[in-house]
């Protein structure tokens, strides 16, 4: 079962992939990855007892070709403690079908 954070990442990636597929070719998508990453970041608020305790900045790290279309392979998430804004860890996830698989450090 997916936790809330993983469900949010999957929702973000579904939106991202729809936008990505509007680009004409994989090469075009790969050449524009910096532009794409800047414009498709997402901040997730992780709330505990009514207070925001973490922010997660999620970015697309790697694009691959999937059945002739650009697709998302790897995403990164920076977890930022609140209110100190200290980055606690960087997690990376690979996509396998509709699952998110953490990449071990």
Q: DSSP letter for 30, please.
A: H
How many angstroms separate the CA atoms of 62 and 29, rounded?
11
Please identify which residue in the block is written with the tokens 């999957």. Answer: 10
| Residue ranges per structural domain of the chain | 4-102
Alpha carbon distance 48, 35 (integer Å): 33
The pLDDT score that the predictor gives to residue 45 is: 65
Q: Is the pTM of this model over 0.75?
A: no
- pLDDT averaged over every residue in the chain: 67
- Confidence (pLDDT) at 49: 66
**pLDDT at position 85:** 76
pLDDT tens, 76-98?
777 777 777 777 666 676 666 55
């Amino acid at each position: 079962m997916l936790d809330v954070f993983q469900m949010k990442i999957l929702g973000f990636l579904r939106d991202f992939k729809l936008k990505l597929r509007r680009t004409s070719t994989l090469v075009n998508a790969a050449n524009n990855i910096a532009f794409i990453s800047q414009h498709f970041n997402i901040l997730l608020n992780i709330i505990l007892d009514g207070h925001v305790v973490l922010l997660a900045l999620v970015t697309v790290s790697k694009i691959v070709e999937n059945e002739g279309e650009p697709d998302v392979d790897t995403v990164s998430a920076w977890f930022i403690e609140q209110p100190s804004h200290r980055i606690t860890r960087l997690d990376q996830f690979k996509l396998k079908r509709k699952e998110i698989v953490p990449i071990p450090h």
